[in-house]
């Protein structure tokens, strides 16, 4: 089976199956086809995120979220022509079809173009004490805990580099010299790494006030204890397209009430729902902030990110959520660390 044939999915398969196909296909797209191979539609990361934000169930058929009129090119179209169409329509993939509209291949921007290089600064928060991970963090800062044969923070940096970023600023406090000694100025990764020293803890957002100028570009900010496969270029593009002052990544979290919930009006019971499951978006600890937002953060004052975002909302600024369905793990407790070591085994 060709690589692009692994992107095929039937219209009655679930949204969850489409997410799996997108992830395993590594082209950030699923191709919805009929039994003869005719293209009925496409499902991209963006389609999935819109479905999540609109509360479409993961077990709904993929036909409900697919784009039924995707851009395609016929056999024989040159790569230069395809690249031009991709740029004109802001596309990352382009299916190739025959006269019967059967899929015969696919081109991706990554294959025929190049990985976009972003001069945006990436701000990594790595100053926490990691108290819930003691005794592992008695002598080592949490971002330097080894997972998969390297520190968590190194995996984060390399993930951003793979997505075209090369300028990093790391906020340090607890055992910050350990982090500085490992990463240095970043030349080992052909990147630039600078440091912000929090002489006293400033909360989850206060260190923003110590940053130098962002060069007029949006700032990507992330906690230094996360393992994720979020597509950072898509996140940045979403922020810019939305014209947002701030964008935060949100992950859907389901929780079940372990009792029968009574729906009552006064003394009259209208119904009982046994162990209902509720769903909400939780803050994933990954943000994009416009440069004017960063510049307005007071220098040297403690500030938490929820307070900063709420202040923006209260002042009528646009704050957006970028729903994520990709792998995401917050290494906050011993159980999380143990899970990460299982899912990221040491490289041979």
Q: Determine the distance from the C-alpha atom of residue 206 to the mean position of all C-alpha atoms in its chain, rounded to a whole number.
A: 23
Compute the 3-state secondary structure of the chain and give helix, strand, coil in percent, each to the nearest 5. 30, 30, 35
Angle at 286 between CA 149 and CA 336, to 5 degrees: 45
CATH number of domain containing 62: 3.10.580.10
Interval 200-220: pLDDT, tens: 888 888 899 888 888 889 999
Number of domains in the chain: 2
Residue 307's CATH number: 3.90.550.10
Are residue 108 and residue 248 in the same domain, yes or no? no
Residue 271, CA atoms < 13 Å, CB-side half-sphere: 4
> Do 251 and 163 meet the contact criterion of CB atoms below 8 Å apart?
no
Residue 39: Cβ-neighbour burial (10 angstroms; 0-12, 13-18, 19+) = buried
Q: In 3D, which of 231, 126, 136, 133 has the Cα closest to residue 169?
A: 126
Band of pLDDT at residue 1, cut at 50, 70 and 90: very low
CA distance 203 to 184: 24
Which of 64, 96, 112 is at the close of a domain?
112
Please check whether residues 194 and 329 belong to one and the same domain. yes
Residues 74-112 pLDDT 10s: 887 777 778 778 777 778 888 888 888 888 888 887 666
Structural domain range at position 41: 3-112
- Say whether 213 sits in a helix, a strand or coil: coil
Within a domain: residue 90? yes
Q: Quick one: angle between helices 176-183 and 152-162, nearest 10? A: 40
> 173-207 pLDDT, tens per residue?
888 889 999 999 998 888 999 999 888 888 888 89
Task: Write the pLDDT tens digit of every residue in 276-322.
Answer: 888 788 899 999 999 999 999 988 888 999 999 999 999 999 999 99
Pairing of strands 328-330, 226-228: antiparallel
Overall pTM surpassing 0.75 (yes/no): no
């Amino acid at each position: 089976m060709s690589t692009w044939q692994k992107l095929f999915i039937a219209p009655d398969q679930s949204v969850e199956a489409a997410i799996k196909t997108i992830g395993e296909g590594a082209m950030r797209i699923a191709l919805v086809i009929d039994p003869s191979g005719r293209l009925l539609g496409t499902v991209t990361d963006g389609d999935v995120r819109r479905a999540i934000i609109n509360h479409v169930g993961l077990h709904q058929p993929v036909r409900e979220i697919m784009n039924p009129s995707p851009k395609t090119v016929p056999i024989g179209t040159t790569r230069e022509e395809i690249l031009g169409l991709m740029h004109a329509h802001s596309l990352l993939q382009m299916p190739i079809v025959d006269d019967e509209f059967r899929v015969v291949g696919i081109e991706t921007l990554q294959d025929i173009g190049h990985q976009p290089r972003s001069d945006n600064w990436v701000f990594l928060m790595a100053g926490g004490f990691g108290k819930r991970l003691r005794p592992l963090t008695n002598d080592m800062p949490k971002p330097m805990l080894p997972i998969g044969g390297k520190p968590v923070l190194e995996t984060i940096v390399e993930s951003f580099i793979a997505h075209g970023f090369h300028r990093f600023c790391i906020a340090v406090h607890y055992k910050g010299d350990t982090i500085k000694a490992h990463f240095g100025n970043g030349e080992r990764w052909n990147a630039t790494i600078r440091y912000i020293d929090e002489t006293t803890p400033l909360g989850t957002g206060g260190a923003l006030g110590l940053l130098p100028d962002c060069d007029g570009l949006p700032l990507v900010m992330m906690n230094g204890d996360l393992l994720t496969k979020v597509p950072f270029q898509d996140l940045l593009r979403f922020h810019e397209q939305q014209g947002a002052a701030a964008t935060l990544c949100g992950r859907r979290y389901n929780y079940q009430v372990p009792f029968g919930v009574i729906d009552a009006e006064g003394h009259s019971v209208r119904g009982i729902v046994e162990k209902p499951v509720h769903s909400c978006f939780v803050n994933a600890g990954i943000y994009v902030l416009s440069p004017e937002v960063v510049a307005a953060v007071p220098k040297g004052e403690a500030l938490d990110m929820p307070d900063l975002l709420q202040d923006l909302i209260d002042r009528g600024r646009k704050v957006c959520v970028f729903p994520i369905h990709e792998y995401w793990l917050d290494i906050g407790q011993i159980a999380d660390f143990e899970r990460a070591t299982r899912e990221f085994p040491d490289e041979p």
